[in-house]
Amino acid sequence: MKKLMAAALCLLMMAGCSDAYASVTNKNETIFKVGNTTVTRGQLYSYMQAQDGGYTAINTAMESILNAKVEITEEMSANAESTMSMYESLLGESFESYMMSMGYPSLDAFKQDLIMNEQASALTELYIENNFESLCTTYTPRKVKIATFADQESAGKAQAALKDGKDFAEVSETYGNTGSKDSIIYTTQSSYPTAVTYAVSSLTEGMVSDVIANDNQTTFYVVVMEALNPADFKDEAVSAIAGINTIASDAMLKAFAESGFNLYDKNLYDAISKNYPDYIAE
Amino acid sequence: MKKVLKEYWLLMLIGALLLGGTVYFVIEDNSGKIAGKTENGNDVVFSIGEENITADEFYDSLYESYGSAGIYQFMLKAVAEASYETTSEMKELAELYAENVKANYMNQYGGEYEAYLTSDLQSMGYNSVDELDEYFVNYQKTNQFLIETVTDETDGTWNKYAEEKQPRIVSHILIKMADPENPTEEELAKVDAVNAALANGEEFGAVALAHSEDTSATANGLLGYADADTSYVEEFLKAMLTLKEGETTDWVKTQYGVHLIKCESTSLDTFIESYSEDMLNAVLTFDPSVQPRAVWAKAEEIGIEFTDETVKANLMKYMGLESEAE
């Protein structure tokens, strides 16, 4: 019984353990002194952490994850160089100072950021490839042509001509299609009126829709369904899904979860919880 | 063993329940707590997979982006603290400023205002809302040595600014007009009333109070500190800049109506006495290098020592004072 009580007491001592705060070595080391005021490494560390709000940790982790999952290709490096050159030609001598004013400690840091963006795009495509079926279920990509008109009469004539089998480009030219003359990949995130989305979801391959009006009857559409099965236009479907604004972040969050991002400092945890809550593993 | 269990079964049951309850309590209490980690005796801040980032490595990464700015903020704070004795007037004014700031933050952020205020104070090297009074005492001290620097003849900043930007204290009387090109009889009558009052010897300020249709009427027409960069409409600004101290324009037409503009003062002493903040803001906008120059000069006067010359060099670069470091 005594041993049981002793064990319980030991366990109770473990209760109320506080959160961990990671500390720099030599935190009391002086950086500079003015008059009677000394500023130490520890004080500067606390200040910098507060300013950062978790950004550097997330960025460092992101870089590590991207380097592990996506090789930096020559094309990526070339694209980054090209963007650097563009900025340099625009900004001239003030290129470096401009970048520093944007928060980059150096031009190398900016170039590193550009390369990371290239890698992130590749990661997104990889994510889409690996989750193609489920993403197609969510976003239902369809290959369509959509003709757009300002008046119902032109739309009606175009619709009749398309149903008659006339060429889309020719019909566009004849009746004044103000929309794209080429195929587009339509998804649930495409910015067309609801009635167009409904039509896209109900057409079979080769079908031409009726004339579809927007809510205030100022714009008229005719849809031609080209392909229903995303596997038949996979590259285009991947590009279209990659353009959906949440996909890149979904890809990165999945990579974070898979890579094991763990925090051992309460201040950093609080900062990331506040500013980047999605990156904290449950 | 069986005999012991049979004899003491109730006690053992209670003991087991106690132990189980304690284990549950400990687990519950500690769940959600951040566990620490070390690598070769150094604290780890975070890890990605097998890769650990220590606090020292994290410090180096953070230093690239925030190090020099942080050292500057700490230096500014330390220099301000050491520059002058804290007077009771400074303390009183600091308390007033602090109350106003807290009220503004409360209005903007409601119950969460302290978190936002703390964050803003931390960006300037202070730790908590408890240091807000201290911040405003140092704010006053900083302004004091900045003004001293700016107006020091050997520095030359004030003369350059004054010559280029022509600062002054300005008042005006406005008579509003729907169409200044075609004033109504009523509008013209108001103009005549102003002219008559001034011709009668009434003070400009009193006439503004009685007749001006601008919100500045309640302040006797006083607009305050202005210079060539003040965002007044072009006709007003142009006319204002032609005045010497004490002079008043003729009626000046703008999109709002017609104005009489008076230059109350162009005296540096008046600016320092009554408009020091406006004046300082204007000069710091004109020449942003004034503040780091003044802070560094004061730091050298008080006595500043760095343990690492690289840190000093980076700081000088950050302040735009590389040539002074050489």
A186 lies in the same domain as A161: yes
A66 touches chain B (CB under 8 A): no
A60 lies in the same domain as A186: no
- Identity of the residue in B59, B79, B308 whose CB atom sits nearest the CB atom of A24: B59
Q: Token pair of A40, please?
A: 């130490």
Return the percentage of chain B with pLDDT > 70, whole number.
Answer: 96
A252 touches chain B (CB under 8 A): no
A210 lies in the same domain as A262: no
pLDDT (0 to 100) of residue A13? 58
Picking from A236, A255, A271, the residue at the C-terminal end of a domain is A236
Structural domain boundaries, residue A195: 140-236
pLDDT (0 to 100) of residue A9? 63
- Identity of the residue in B15, B48, B62 whose CB atom sits nearest the CB atom of A259: B48
Residue B325, pLDDT above cutoff 60? no
pLDDT (0 to 100) of residue A6? 64
Q: Are A45 and B54 in contact (CB under 8 A)?
A: no
State phi, psi for B248 to the nearest 5 degrees.
-130, 140
User: Which residues from B are below 8 Å from A107, CB to CB?
Assistant: none
A121 lies in the same domain as A185: no
pLDDT digits (tens, 9 = 90+) for B19-46: 777 777 666 666 678 899 999 999 999 9
pLDDT (0 to 100) of residue A52? 94
Helix (H) or strand (E) run with residue A260 in it: none
Residue B122, pLDDT above cutoff 90? no
A145 lies in the same domain as A231: yes
The domain segmentation of chain B, as residue ranges, is: 84-151, 166-273
DSSP string, A101-145: HTT-SSHHHHHHHHHHHHHHHHHHHHHHHHTHHHHHHHH--EEEE
pLDDT (0 to 100) of residue A14? 57
Put simply, the chain A residues between 74 and 113 with a CB less than 8 A from any chain B CB are: 103, 105-106, 109
Quick one: average pLDDT of B148-163?
86
A265 and B46 within 8 Å at the Cβ level: the answer is yes
A173 lies in the same domain as A225: yes
What's at A32, amino acid-wise? F
CA distance B50 to B265: 69
pLDDT (0 to 100) of residue B127? 86
- Identity of the residue in A48, A50, A261 whose CB atom sits nearest the CB atom of B46: A261
Local structure of A218: helix, strand or coil:
coil
pLDDT (0 to 100) of residue A26? 93
Local structure of A247: helix, strand or coil:
helix
Instruction: For the domain covering B166-273, report its CATH number.
Output: 3.10.50.40
Angle of helix B276-286 relative to helix B132-151, nearest 10 degrees? 70
For the stretch B86-96, what's the b/e string if a residue is b when 16 or more beta carbons lie within 10 angstroms of its beta carbon? Answer: eeeebeeebee
CA torsion angle A103 A105 A108 A112 (round to 10): -50
CA torsion angle A87 A90 A92 A96 (round to 10): -30
Residue linked to tokens 């408890």: B130
Quick one: average pLDDT of B174-191?
96
pLDDT digits (tens, 9 = 90+) for A36-69: 899 999 999 999 999 999 999 999 999 999 999 9
Q: Are B54 and B41 in contact (CB under 8 A)?
A: no
Using a 10 angstrom Cβ sphere, with 0-12 exposed, 13-18 middle and 19 or more buried, the burial of residue A126 is middle
Distance from CA of B26 to the nearest CA of A (A): 5
pLDDT (0 to 100) of residue A202? 93
Considering its fold, how many domains does chain A have in total? 2
Q: Token pair of A38, please?
A: 């000394």
CA distance A107 to B320: 18
Q: Are B175 and B187 in contact (CB under 8 A)?
A: yes
A184 within a domain of the structure (yes/no): yes
Per run of 10 residues, the mean pLDDT along chain A (length 282 residues) is: 61 67 94 92 94 94 94 94 93 87 85 94 94 95 96 95 94 94 93 93 94 94 96 95 93 92 93 92 64
Q: Are A219 and A205 in contact (CB under 8 A)?
A: no
**CA B295 to chain CA centroid, nearest Å:** 16
Integer angstrom CA distances of residue B97 from A28, A168, B100, B127: 33, 70, 5, 18
Strand-pair partners of A39: A32
Give residues with Cβ within 8 angstroms of B89, minimum separation 6: none
CATH of the domain at A175: 3.10.50.40
Distance from CA of A13 to the nearest CA of B (A): 9
Helix (H) or strand (E) run with residue B304 in it: strand B304-306
Q: Which of A93, A52, A97 is nearest to A272 (CA)?
A: A52
A151 lies in the same domain as A186: yes
Distance from CA of A187 to the nearest CA of B (A): 35
B116 touches chain A (CB under 8 A): no
pLDDT (0 to 100) of residue B30? 65
Residue linked to tokens 């982006």: B65
| Residue count (chain A) | 282
Tally DSSP H helices, then E strands, for chain B.
Answer: 14, 8
A120 lies in the same domain as A185: no
Local structure of B269: helix, strand or coil:
helix
User: Which residues from A are below 8 Å from B295, CB to CB?
Assistant: none
Q: Token pair of A118, please?
A: 């290239």
Put simply, the chain B residues between 255 and 314 with a CB less than 8 A from any chain A CB are: 299, 302-308, 311-312
A268 and B45 within 8 Å at the Cβ level: the answer is yes
Give residues with Cβ within 8 angstroms of B309, minimum separation 6: none
Q: Comparing B149 with B132, which gets the higher pLDDT? A: B132
For the stretch A218-227, what's the b/e string if a residue is b when 16 or more beta carbons lie within 10 angstroms of its beta carbon? Answer: ebbbbbbbbb
- Identity of the residue in B58, B69, B81 whose CB atom sits nearest the CB atom of A37: B81
CA distance B145 to B292: 12
Quick one: average pLDDT of B188-215?
97
Question: How many Cβ pairs closer than 8 A exist between chain A and B?
Answer: 188
Residue linked to tokens 């030599």: A26
Distance from CA of A282 to the nearest CA of B (A): 10
pLDDT (0 to 100) of residue A189? 92
Q: Token pair of B223, please?
A: 């607009």
Mutate to test the interface with A, among B10, B11, B19, B22 (most CBs of A within 10 A): B22
